[in-house]
A and B are shown apart, each in its own frame.
Chain A
Amino acid sequence: MESATALFSLIIALPLAGFLINGLTGLFVESYRSKKQLIGIIANTAVFIPFIVAFYFFVNMNADSGALVYKLFTWIEAGTFSVDIAYRVDQLSVMMTLIVTGVGFLIHLYSMGYMSHDEGYWKFFAYLNLFIFAMLNLVLGNNLLLLFLGWEGVGVCSYLLIGFWYQDMAKSDAAKKAFIYNRIGDFAFLIAMFMIFQSVGSLNFDVIFNNLGGISEGYKVAIGLLMFVGATGKSAQIPLFVWLPDAMAGPTPVSALIHAATMVTSGIYLISRMSPMYVMIPEVMLIVALIGALTAIVAATIAITQNDIKAVLAYSTVSQLGYMFLALGAGGFTAAMFHVMTHAFFKACLFLGSGSVIHAMEHVEHGLHKEGKDVHFDPQDMRFMGGLREYMPSTYKTFLIATIAISGFPLLSGFFSKDEILAFTMNAGFVEGGSWLYIALWVVGIMTAFLTAFYMFRLTFTTFHGSFKLPSKIKEALGSEKFLHESPWTMTVPLWILAVLAIFGGYLGVPNFIAETFTGQPAHINLLHDWLYNINADYGIVLGKGFKWILLVASIIVAVSGILLALRMYNNDQQEESDALIANKFGGLYKLWKDKYNFDDVYEGLISKPMVKFSDKVLAVFDMKVVDGIVNAIAGTVKLFGSLFRYTQTGVVSNYALAFVIGVIIILYLMIM
């Protein structure tokens, strides 16, 4: 093996090794399970070193470097079909690898504190390492099938981790639901691969991109749509998004890592990777944008009505992912990847912050139990919280920073990435052959931006500002605020790092026109765009500078007004009154939001229940009565056989066996002689 290949292999091999060491030792050596320090260090190292190696590859690359391909061995070969276990280091995959291992490492570190009291500690870290391994296959695979291996691999890890506390049936239900909804998307992905292979004879990215002309127009549209359906499964978009809110049943670090920062962005990565094909099918691009925008606003309206701190964040994630698809559909592939990155920072920070809060609330519950008070409450329900900023300053500050960032407040990371998305959306309405619908989608996008700022500050204010509400809700909990405490450093350090990234991450993609306005020269301050320009087939920008400034100011205005409205309505312990006010104002609409648009009920009522019922009451009966019935009827007419064999069944078996063996030997003897 060449030294570069060997070095690269560390990125893939170490997380796998971490999984095997902790997983197998933990499974078979019971005493190992309590060596939490060791387990944690092994798992953290297995992610941290790949991060360093990926960083090394990153600094040795520039925007024009060709892709480095490391082939390990041939995976599958049959007839004309051949696919390798081969990895591809290019500008896009190295960016994703840095996010996955970087944010992944911080969440591993955080988990050492968060999971420290769990008896499944070893298993948790084994799964987490396995997830990183699968995710790296997804982003680094040099062909669609290896990407698919990672794609399904992360799905299994997600399944295992959502159902981590499997003794709770609701949690294992959520895990199963996630896997099955993902499988529906994977089905579409499979068909897309068959079509590509049939057209170009390979699933290798380079071969596909070099032979796009060999794919017929109709096939391109079909492939584009099918891959997008695959993406709606993994990245939780309408119509397959319903699994993601339920997935919050998993431990909070899992929500941060898998269900916010990395796995759920796989669909965006896929379409961005396939961007040379997507730009050839504008009709599919429009559908992607439509679904993205629709998902963004649907999820944002649901988020307003939720009281579970993780549910708000979950719907917020669905909504932000919708934003990313809007960007993809508008030809802003780089903008989408930009938002993948900034979202990874601030959403991971928010989830980990919520974990810190939940941790504290659980501590209160345990503290009360120790005092002999039998108090039970939902530690994730923000109606019991309030005033936490006094007790958890680091958690509060980092959570607030991330909230400001996601709201699109000027100069923080979310501001730049969101503005880029909105600019591309408007732009797509004006490019040659662009549809006016994109302008309508820009309106949806800007409304969502307003809602985002509003519900995120509703969450932050209700949780951290005002007074601690548990004692006023439950009498026995009087004075329970003494149990509130800040989380240990393993949890707060990752929070601070992520908060810093949430502030400054946006400076990798500052729009060029800002500098151009002041210098009058063509500028190159959008580093991310320059980094990815060889890979992403972005639409060209046709909007004038003045127009772009207007759009920028518009997004500042909605973000600030969302924040101000939330400040008025939720800053001082008026959450329930304000919620009621909104409910009154919007009436039936609010109920629809609160009921999550009834997606789950519709699916259950129209698909899963009828399918089970049909299988149970019709097919299974049909199988016994009709299919088997015909067989029995035929057999019945030839009863002779039946009675004969029933007769032979009594008797000493070994005699029969012996007779048969002798018979066989005689026949064989005759033949051989």
Chain B
Amino acid sequence: METLLNITIFLPLLGIPLVTLIKGDTAKKWIALLITSATFLISLPLMFNFDIVNSGLAQYITEGAPISSSLDIKYLVGLDGLSLLLFMLTTFMGPIVILSSWDSVSKHLSAYLSMLLLLQTASLGVFASLDLIVFYVFFELSLIPMYFLIGIWGGSDRIRATIKFFIYTLVGSLIMLVGLIYVGYDAGMSMNGFSFTTDWRFLSSDAYKIGLVQQTYLFVAFALAFCIKVPLFPFHTWLPYAHTEAPTAGSVVLAAIMLKMGTYGLIRVCLPLFPNAFMEFAPYMATLAVIGIIYGALVAMVQKDVKKLVAYSSVSHLGFVVLGIFALNTVAVQGAIIQMINHGLSTGALFLIVGMIYDRRHTRMIKDFGGIAKQLPVFTVMFMIATLASIGLPGLNGFIGEFLILNGSFFSELYNNKVYAILAATGVILAAVYMLWMFQRVMFGPLEKEENKKLLDLNAREIGLLVPLMIFMFWIGIHPVNFTKYSENQVTELIIASKEKSMAVLEQAKTEELPDWTAEFYGLNKDQQENEFLTASE
């Protein structure tokens, strides 16, 4: 099984020399398709053999030797309940992504396929890493192929979009790198034998605690990088640019996989490492999340370009995920995890659908369409299902995530305020407004434009790549337990452990001299004040 995990991560890399060396465009595409399909198939046993009861423990671990006797940095991969579903989503999307651009990309085909394959390995690596430096390397590595995908195969304004995307996310990650190095040395001090360690098993254990002052700075450094990636309002402006300029395959990977690295980082890294800061910052993060939900929806509503509309809808949807993560109870966090998968499926499908219509008409402007439902019955059904999934219709996947997130946030002890969930729930109304309005203007009404009268319905390849997504949308909508069970135990344990760790840190902090702002921020002088207040009133 350990070997299988490693093969899954690196098999796509093997495809790079193959697609470069083999002659013939069709052969190249088939190689890429076979490699990604094989990756998916090989990854399946990882899911079937996963020990659900002990989902909190990383499984299928491969551990390399530390790179030096004092630096405990090593190749360390494995899967646990938090990463498994995202890992599987990545392998599942692989062949779909390759198929999506089967007919639409011919420029520098080898390089194009190589980038997609490299992106696949990088994404898988992010989710499987159990060493923070390895995590960081994969995290950064995923930027590079995406940079080229947008920069070379993108739309007319691709250069600006690429630079914005690259620099924005890079700045975030560099700040995180600084924090990461600090954590490495700090952890090294509390560990015997090394001066530096980023072994996740140690960092996340209760043996390693970070002081309140440091937690605050480090949380900001890490959370900033992840929030840019999510993207959380107000760090989202790179996303609409990147999506409108990216080729379809790039948009699909970006939406389905790469944005999840941000939300994944928040729960994977920020919570166990900085539990106190995580909890104290929760109301602020929730505020940004709620603003993002409403703001993203309102801005989506007035977009004239379908793809940009879907991009802004992502800002809104990922706001839900962030809201769920910071609610920090099992209901909401489980909702957030399944919602990451849901967003990957339904927004992935929406970008594929937008790509299909773009391939036919070379426009994505809403006003260029109208009435095409008549011309494209199968396309209409697929588009409708993806739309309904996106607006959270019960019976489809989106509802499960949104409901659990909102329900959990409603009684979250961290927020201790119903307003977050109530305001966020207005997103349910707004989503119906912007999605159905767009759908109506594109699909319904009289078929008037000559160009639209000649449109052809989906071909077998296009149906074939949408149907698997649809199956999972229904499956998760009707029987989500099949998916949520993987993270259930881990999430429950993680929340308890993080709370205990934060209590321990607080206890320890009481004995220490702290700057005023820290004591105030973490409510340390509250007890004292209350006591004084009580004595005064007596």
Contact present for B137 and A172 (CB under 8 Å): no
Which chain A residue lies CB-closest to B377?
A: A27
Once the chains are docked, how many angstroms separate the CA of A337 from the CA of B250?
55
Contact present for B151 and A166 (CB under 8 Å): no
Contact present for A198 and B445 (CB under 8 Å): no
Once the chains are docked, how many angstroms separate the CA of A166 from the CA of B488?
44
Once the chains are docked, how many angstroms separate the CA of A670 from the CA of B137?
13
Contact present for B167 and A628 (CB under 8 Å): no
Contact with A along B389-413 (1 / 0, CB 8 A): 0000111000110011011101100
Contact present for B302 and A620 (CB under 8 Å): yes
B509 within 8 A of A: no
Once the chains are docked, how many angstroms separate the CA of A117 from the CA of B507?
78
Contact present for B111 and A653 (CB under 8 Å): yes
Once the chains are docked, how many angstroms separate the CA of A191 from the CA of B407?
8
Contact present for B440 and A176 (CB under 8 Å): yes
Contact with A along B405-441 (1 / 0, CB 8 A): 0111011000000000110011011001100110010
Give, as a whole number of angstroms, the nearest-CB distance from B444 to chain A.
4
Binds B, one of A361-369, A421-429, A553-561, A659-667: A659-667
Give, as a whole number of angstroms, the nearest-CB distance from A87 to chain B.
15
Contact present for B75 and A623 (CB under 8 Å): no
Contact with B along A514-553 (1 / 0, CB 8 A): 0000000000000000000000000000000000000000
Contact present for A657 and B75 (CB under 8 Å): no
B162 within 8 A of A: yes
B335 within 8 A of A: yes
A603 within 8 A of B: no
Give, as a whole number of angstroms, the nearest-CB distance from A139 to chain B.
15
Select B480's contact among A76, A193, A624, A656, beta carbons within 8 Å. Answer: A76
- For A624, list chain B residues within 8 Å (CB): 237
Q: A79-B408, A80-B331, A169-B444 are in contact. List 15 more A-B contacts (CB 8 A).
A: A76-B484, A78-B334, A81-B407, A85-B478, A149-B395, A163-B444, A173-B440, A191-B421, A194-B406, A194-B410, A653-B108, A661-B16, A661-B118, A671-B74, A671-B134
Contact present for A619 and B428 (CB under 8 Å): no
Once the chains are docked, how many angstroms separate the CA of A120 from the CA of B335?
39
Which has the most chain B C-beta neighbours within 10 Å: A85, A153, A159, A169?
A: A169
Binds B, one of A40-48, A58-66, A242-250, A608-616: A608-616
A190 within 8 A of B: yes
Once the chains are docked, how many angstroms separate the CA of A612 from the CA of B407?
29
- For A672, list chain B residues within 8 Å (CB): 64-65, 75
Contact present for B298 and A77 (CB under 8 Å): no
What are 5 pairs between A and B in contact, CB < 8 Å? A78-B488, A653-B152, A657-B111, A661-B118, A673-B65
- For B118, list chain A residues within 8 Å (CB): 657, 660-661
Q: Which B residues are closer than 8 A to A by beta carbons?
A: 13, 16, 20, 64-65, 67, 73-75, 108, 110-111, 114-115, 118, 134, 137, 141, 144-145, 148, 151-152, 159, 162-164, 166-168, 170, 234, 236-238, 295, 298-299, 301-303, 329-331, 334-335, 371, 373-374, 377-378, 381, 388, 393-395, 399-400, 403-404, 406-408, 410-411, 421-422, 425-426, 428-429, 432-433, 436-437, 440, 443-447, 478-481, 484-485, 488, 491-492
Select A657's contact among B114, B377, B410, beta carbons within 8 Å. Answer: B114
Contact present for A167 and B65 (CB under 8 Å): no
Contact present for A153 and B395 (CB under 8 Å): yes
Contact present for A646 and B114 (CB under 8 Å): no
Once the chains are docked, how many angstroms separate the CA of A179 from the CA of B388?
12
**Chain A 93-133 residues near chain B, CB threshold 8 A:** none
Contact present for A198 and B410 (CB under 8 Å): yes
Which chain B residue lies CB-closest to A176?
A: B436
- For B491, list chain A residues within 8 Å (CB): 79
Contact present for B73 and A671 (CB under 8 Å): yes
- For A163, list chain B residues within 8 Å (CB): 444
Interface size on A, residues (CB 8 A): 73
Once the chains are docked, how many angstroms separate the CA of A172 from the CA of B433?
13
Contact present for A180 and B395 (CB under 8 Å): no
Q: Which A residues are closer than 8 A to B by beta carbons?
A: 27-28, 73-81, 85, 145, 148-149, 152-153, 156, 159, 163, 166-169, 172-173, 176, 179-180, 183-184, 186-187, 190-191, 193-195, 197-198, 611-612, 614-616, 619-620, 623-624, 627-628, 631, 635, 641-642, 645-646, 649, 653-654, 656-658, 660-661, 664-665, 667-668, 670-673
Contact present for B428 and A79 (CB under 8 Å): no
Given contacts A79-B330, A180-B432, A672-B75, contact A152 B394 (CB under 8 A): yes
Given contacts A153-B395, A166-B443, A641-B167, contact A673 B64 (CB under 8 A): yes
Once the chains are docked, how many angstroms separate the CA of A362 from the CA of B437?
31
Contact present for B302 and A78 (CB under 8 Å): no
- For B377, list chain A residues within 8 Å (CB): 27
- For B152, list chain A residues within 8 Å (CB): 653
- For B393, list chain A residues within 8 Å (CB): 152-153, 156
Give, as a whole number of angstroms, the nearest-CB distance from A438 to chain B.
32
Give, as a whole number of angstroms, the nearest-CB distance from A612 to chain B.
6
Once the chains are docked, how many angstroms separate the CA of A468 from the CA of B422?
56
Contact present for A645 and B167 (CB under 8 Å): yes
Given contacts A187-B429, A615-B298, contact A78 B404 (CB under 8 A): yes
